[in-house]
């Protein structure tokens, strides 16, 4: 169990866990078998491979705030929304990392060079469309002027009040509000999650890893759930490309706890692993690690076979509990529709 605590510490520091990819507790094939056992038609393609521009779509969005609390905005050039304003955003291209896509989109659309500083939010529509909202800092370049308009954008500028602009879509309003609140937390040195950027690790599938916490009633000690299928590891399931992450989480929790699912709360993302993989075959998989707390005492929670509780040391327990507050994890938002490129 030594590696369990080591991997929990990695995740709490925003780094992906070091576990083999064959540690998967609920594959798409398992999900199909579960559906059949309930008299339902299987819906998951068991041989699904995530490939950008074919079976999955990843979008990056940049929220860059200057010392005047102004937001970096770009004016759209596309015919469908020409003249309207939006945050710099666009699709991750094949053979490109999320961070490289961030840098490319900011440069193409605003004329500025920038470095990402942390994930601010992850959004998902179904299980195959993801938008990664990142904060960042300008490192150089010059802001794009109307005379430099091209197919990427008409111009860029720093804006304080977004209400002064004709926006392409209102979905960015809550994102900007969250980014400004997060920046305020940083400046006032209040508690916040550590800088979280994607760990460059290749995955052949789409995975959801869970760090599930519960307290023992007798001594109040914090425990985390461990899967004992193969070697001991943190519970992990394959993401169904056609289902929302909310639905996937509920099905996986039911797989572990049974139909009498205990009251629980998903807090947010602790870590993200992603890197383009070309060998042994092309794949653009990822792994999201999500912190979940169970509200009932550990003694009142039933478990299915091959899962058990592991008591973490007091230091790790304290960090886990502290990460359950506001701004202490990266929000994971499930949206119903996705935009074609942002």
71-75 and 155-159 strand pairing:
antiparallel
pLDDT 10s digits, 40-69: 998 888 889 999 999 999 999 999 999 999
- pTM to 2 decimal places: 0.95
Query: What is the C-alpha to C-alpha distance for residues 290 and 303, in angstroms, rounded to an integer?
Result: 19
Q: Are the C-beta atoms of 78 and 84 separated by less than 8 Å?
A: no
Interaxial angle between packed helices 28-37 and 245-257, expressed in degrees from 0 to 180 and rounded to the nearest 10: 70
Tell me the two tokens of residue 286: 């990822």
Q: Are the C-beta atoms of 257 and 304 separated by less than 8 Å?
A: yes
Question: For residue 334, which of 266, 232, 271, 275 has the smallest C-alpha distance?
Answer: 266
pLDDT of res. 193:
86
Query: What is the C-alpha to C-alpha distance for residues 327 and 185, in angstroms, rounded to an integer?
Result: 8
Computed over its alpha carbons, how large is the radius of gyration of the chain?
A: 21
Query: What is the C-alpha to C-alpha distance for residues 197 and 98, in angstroms, rounded to an integer?
Result: 9
pLDDT of res. 281:
66
Query: What is the C-alpha to C-alpha distance for residues 142 and 60, in angstroms, rounded to an integer?
Result: 21
Tell me the two tokens of residue 220: 């109040």
Please give the distance of CA 288 from its chain centroid, rounded to a whole number: 6
* 10-residue stretch averages of pLDDT, the chain, 342 residues long: 90 92 91 91 88 95 97 96 97 94 98 97 94 98 97 97 95 96 85 88 94 96 94 95 94 93 96 79 89 96 92 96 92 74 61
pLDDT 10s digits, 248-293: 999 999 999 998 999 999 999 999 999 876 655 678 999 999 999 9
Query: What is the C-alpha to C-alpha distance for residues 24 and 206, in angstroms, rounded to an integer?
Result: 11
pLDDT of res. 340:
45
Query: 168-182: buried (b, 16+ CB within 10 Å) or exposed (e) per residue?
Result: beebbeebbebbeeb
Q: In what order do the strands lie in the sheet with 332-334?
A: 89-91, 57-63, 129-141, 112-125, 332-334
């Amino acid at each position: 169990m030594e590696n369990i605590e080591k991997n929990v510490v990695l995740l709490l520091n925003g780094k992906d866990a070091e576990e083999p990819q064959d540690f998967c507790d609920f594959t798409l094939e398992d999900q199909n078998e579960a559906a059949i056992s309930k008299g339902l038609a299987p819906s998951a393609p068991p041989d699904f491979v995530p490939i950008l521009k074919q079976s999955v779509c990843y979008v990056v969005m940049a929220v860059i705030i200057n010392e005047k609390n102004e937001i970096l905005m770009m004016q759209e050039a596309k015919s469908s929304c020409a003249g309207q304003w939006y945050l710099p955003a666009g699709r991750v291209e094949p053979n490109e990392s999320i961070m490289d896509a961030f840098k490319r989109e900011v440069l193409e659309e605003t004329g500025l060079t920038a470095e990402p500083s942390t994930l601010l939010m992850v959004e998902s529509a179904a299980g195959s469309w993801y938008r990664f909202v990142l904060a960042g800092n300008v490192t150089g370049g010059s802001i794009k002027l109307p005379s430099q308009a091209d197919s990427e954008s008409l111009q860029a500028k720093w804006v304080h009040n977004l209400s002064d602009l004709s926006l392409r879509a209102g979905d960015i309003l809550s994102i900007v509000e969250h980014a400004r609140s997060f920046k305020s937390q940083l400046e006032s040195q209040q508690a916040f999650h550590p800088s979280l950027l994607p760990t460059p690790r290749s995955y052949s599938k789409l995975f959801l890893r869970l760090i599930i916490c519960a307290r023992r009633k007798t001594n109040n000690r914090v425990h985390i759930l461990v899967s004992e299928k193969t070697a001991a590891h943190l519970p992990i399931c394959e993401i169904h490309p056609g289902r929302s992450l909310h639905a996937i989480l509920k099905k996986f929790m039911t797989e572990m706890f049974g139909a009498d699912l205990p009251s629980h709360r998903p807090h947010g993302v602790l870590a993200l692993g992603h890197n383009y993989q070309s060998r042994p075959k092309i794949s653009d998989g990822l792994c999201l690690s999500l912190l979940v707390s169970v509200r009932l005492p550990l003694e009142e929670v039933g478990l299915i076979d091959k899962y058990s509780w592991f008591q973490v040391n007091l230091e790790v327990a304290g960090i886990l509990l502290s990460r359950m507050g506001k701004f202490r994890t990266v929000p994971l938002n499930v949206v119903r529709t996705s935009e074609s490129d942002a």
